[in-house]
Every structure is written in C-alpha cells, then in structure tokens.
Amino acid sequence: MSFADSDTGYLLGYTFHEVLGTECAGYGSDHLMAKTTDGGTTWKRVTPPPVSAENGSHTMYFATPMIGIVLGSHPWVTTDGSHSWHRVHLPGTGYDAIAADGQLWVIAPICSHHCDFGVFSSPLDTALRLRRDPRAPQFRGDLPYFVHGAGNEIYIDTDPHLQVGWLWRSADGATWMRFRGPRDDCAIAAWDATGLAAVCNDVLYGVGEESKLTYVSYDAARSWSEVSAPSVFGYIDDLAAGSSTNWVLTDARSALQTTINGGHSWNAVTHFPRIALPNGVGTVQYLAPDTFIAIPAYQPSRHVLVSHDDGRTWSAITFPKWPYR
C-alpha cells in the first residue's frame, strides 16, 4: 500500500486460484491493483504492473498521484497514474524507494551477489531514468532502508532491527552525514526534517514479548532522549509518525500501539470492527496527523482499516471480489 497524498493511494495484491487440467494440480495468481482518490473510502481497479506472487515479494511506492514504482525482481514505473507501466534498469532487485526535493531515490544492490548496496535517483518527470548517485554513501553487508515521512530530508537506516547501526541524513542528496541510532534493534520514523522517533528492543523475552524503549530526537539524529516504555506484548515491526506527538507502532503477535503525546504513554489497539487479525497489522501510513490507514499482516484479506482518531475507533472497508483474469 502506498499513499501519495491524503487522498490518493494504491494497493497492490494478488488473487490465488487453483490451476486445473494439469498433470499436477497447483495454484496460480492474478496480480491486481486498486486505487482510491478519497482517502481510502472507495476503491476502483486499475492496471497493475506485470508482476505475480510467484516471482517474489514487491515494494510499491508512489511519489506523486501519477508517478510510482514497484520494486522486485524487475522494477516497474508508471508516470500516468497506473494507466501504463514500463521497466527501468537496475543492477539488481530494488529494496526501497522514497521521494524528496523533486527526486525519486531507490536503494538497490550494485553487484550481482547483492553484497554492496547503493543509492539510485531520477528527477520526478515522465522520463524517470534511474542512475546511481556517486555522491550517496555505499553500503556493504547491511541492507539499508529509507526512513519515511521526513519531507525533503533523506534518511537511511543502515541496519534496522539487527544492531546499533548508522543513520545517514542528507538535506539535498549531495552532502551526507551519519549518526548513531539510539541503541540496538530499533524501528525509526521521521515526522519532519529534524524530528525522529524510535522504538527499540531492550530485552527479548520470547513467546511474543520483549521489553521496549522509546526515544526521540529533535535535532536530526544528532542526539536522542529516552521517553517511555511501550507494552511488552509483541515484537517490534515498524513505526510511523504523523507528527511530533502522534505515532503508531506495529508489531508481530499483537496488533498495534498508538501514542498521542510523543511516546510518554501508549495505548494498545487489539480489536477492530468486523474482522479478526490473528497476525496483527502489517502496513500503516498516516494520511493526516491523527488519521492513518492500515492493512492486515500475513493473511488473505479484502479489508483496509481507517482510523480518524488515532486508533480509538475504526472503519473497515471491504473490497469486492475481483474477477479472475
């Protein structure tokens, strides 16, 4: 799922069906894409790129309502709002994308064995030709990811969820600075150019529990201050920030936790209307400081969840059953 603004978003998925008439019965998949222009209230089917569940997982990112990219074994881009798609060249599988300051930025390997990673960029125009940016840092061994939600700043977390890694920052894509994260095993989110939140593992208990600590930085990762401890239930998955006060933490084993006071207190959200979430929530994206949209994790689902009050109440939107191609 990717929202380019508070109204326009895209959802990429698959329908699975049994393949009959073959020597060995199997399952095929039809790729599908849906688009909303009213903040997730209604959706319509649009043209997807030619990808399928059989050739790996995919990351989708829309920089504008018209320009988007789907990263996987082959990257596909659209510059006309998903009416048409074309392939772009990368040396290997693209892993993450972000838009900043009129550019699209993509992290991808720069060697055939995926041992080193670099940053590729392109102006946000109809040509959209990705080229490796020699000014950006090169990463060896650790798979880096962008920290989303930072406006025109570019943040790259070099080793999320594994160890204390470097957090790289650039204000213009030309000059890069690196800073330490607050501690081991952190999920990091940015709400503006200099404000970042982090939720980090403290002690792993097992059986679906770990103690967690919350940190905040108001000076672009130069320094971090400890704030509070969220619930021990669930493992840290991802963190999203809508403002300096409104954050949401998704985790495995439970659903999600929200805060409206900058991490000083947390509220566990485990019940949603009409549907069960045995594996919790997967992707969460803010549409406004107190409004976010979420999709269930690791299960076939035709639901999208929307909350306009920081997770206190929800509406569940059910997609129609898509016809097979």
CB count, 10 Å around CB of 321?
A: 8
The Cα-based distances of 111 to 93, 139, 141, 145 in angstroms read 10, 11, 12, 18
Residues 33 and 49 in one domain: yes
- What is the average pLDDT across 291-312? 81
Are 171 and 120 in the same domain? no
pLDDT at 35: 93
- Same domain membership, residue 47 and residue 182: no
Confidence of residue 215 (pLDDT cuts 50, 70, 90): very high
Asked if residue 173 and residue 136 are part of one domain, the reply reads: no
**For residue 317, what pLDDT is reported?**
82
From the list 291, 169, 164, 154, the residue with the least C-alpha distance to 215 is 164
Q: Are residues 58 and 201 in the same domain?
A: no
133 in the same domain as 4 = yes
CATH number where 164 lies: 2.120.10.10
Both 13 and 90 in one domain: the answer is: yes
Same-domain check for residues 120 and 153:
no
- Same-domain check for residues 151 and 298: yes
Overall number of domains in the chain? 2
Which tokens hold the place of 67? 């320009």
95 or 112, greater pLDDT: 95
Look at residue 177 in the predicted model and tell me its pLDDT. Answer: 92
Q: What single DSSP character describes residue 230?
A: -
Handedness of CA 114, 117, 118, 119 (dihedral sign): positive
**Pair (299, 206) in one structural domain:** yes
Read off φ and ψ for residue 54, nearest 5 degrees. -70, -25
Same domain, 183 and 216: yes
Query: 140, 175, 198: which is the final residue of a domain?
Result: 140
Higher pLDDT, residue 125 or 99: 99
Q: Region 106-115: what's the mean pLDDT?
A: 80
Task: Indicate whether 159 and 130 sit together in one domain.
Answer: no
Residue 182 is part of which domain span? 147-325
Give me the sign of the Cα torsion angle 273, 316, 69, 285: negative
With left for phi above 0 and alpha for psi between -120 and 50, is residue 205 left, alpha or beta?
A: alpha
> Measured in Å, how far apart are the chain's first and last C-alpha atoms?
22
Contact 173, 124 (CB under 8 A): no
Nearest to 216 by CA among 241, 185, 233, 237: 241
